[in-house]
A = this chain, B = another copy of it.
Amino acid sequence: MSRSINLAVIPGDGIGQEVVAEGLKVLSAVLPQDVKLETKEYDFGARRYHATGETLTDADLDALERHDAILLGAIGDPSVPSGVLERGFLLKLRFAFDHHVNLRPSKLLPGVATPLAGQPEIDFVVVREGTEGPYTGNGGTIRKGTEHEVATEVSVNTAFGVERVVRDAFARAQARPRKKLTLVHKNNVLTFAGHLWTNIFDKVAAEYPDVTTDYIHVDAATIYLVTDPGRFDVIVTDNLFGDIITDLAAAVSGGIGVAASGNINPSREFPSMFEPVHGSAPDIAGQGKADPTATVLSVALLLRHLGHDAEAARIEDAVSADLADRGGLPARSTSQIGDALAARVAG
């Protein structure tokens, strides 16, 4: 547990600005007096791209690398062509800092609305691989724009990359009361990658006899996420499947307004990055309508990553209490929710 936190702050685009301000408010409120918090803000995102054409330079990476962790709001704007900021900033950072554990907890808290009938119990964590799969940017296009165009995307999976994330997921499953780990893949169709994932999963499983294991195809997993989400405890899956099922998981467990994520480098060789699962929501930006809860919960993940478990738990308890009290109350602004959470963690 560090006595100082040197944090890189990337508000980004759209509602990113607003929600990050509340995340920092709650972070300052929860930290004990003797933990020194230093923050430095970076202007990545659409404005910087339009002004300079840059998304993330080598100098930027050098600067970011000197921080203990990164808090990100959201990146993306309709004025920038699809893919430019995603590949040029978000994914570039995840790859450069080897964020191979993309951690996405899903917990349906009391009092929170879900689109599912009957308020099922939902409490699971998805460990999404963050540096391989179809996200590597391998692939290409020939005869672009002609009737003979061919475009490929290559999913790259290595024993090294799969094993380290599978091990991380087993350790997380073992630390939870239910001790259950589900591998989600599509090994009946993607047989090359599927065999690699399945074989490594089975090999590591032998070292964790107390963890119950399970395998589900990704298509079937989406069915269970709406018909029986309680069956999941920890899920480990590849980058693309993880992207898809964590949005669905967020939707059924209270919406992306409360879905937090960590892009984690467990070895701490590089700083980890914490961000809400939601995007920049340009349609509601600047209006104080965004719910900062997902960002605040991402701050809790950040604190736990840095060893401040008690503070992380205080934030999570404050969020639970705030959500439980929402029913019937008039809608609050972004900063009102931030104020309420800051008051709870301080009090």
Contact = CB atoms under 8 A, between A and B. Distances in A.
A192 B139 contact: yes
Contact of A150 (B114, B115, B157, B244): B157
Interface stretch (A221-229, A283-291, A295-303): A221-229
A222 B244 contact: yes
Given A117-B115, A141-B195, A154-B153, A189 B219 contact: no
How many chain A residues sit at the interface, stated as a range, is: 35 or more
A134 interface: yes
Contacts of A154: 139, 152-155
Contact of A223 (B91, B195, B223, B256): B256
Most chain B CB neighbours (cut-off 10 Å) among A140, A151, A160, A199: A151
Interface in A193-248: 193-196, 198-199, 218-220, 222-223, 225-227, 240, 243-248
A155 B153 contact: yes
The number of times this chain is found in the oligomer is 2
A4 interface: no
A195 B223 CA distance: 29
Interface in A177-201: 186-196, 198-199
Contact of A192 (B135, B151, B222): B151
A250 interface: yes
A223 B256 CA distance: 9
A247 B227 contact: no
A295 B150 CA distance: 36
A148 B159 CA distance: 6
8 contacts: A83-B187, A116-B116, A139-B193, A140-B192, A153-B192, A189-B243, A222-B247, A244-B244
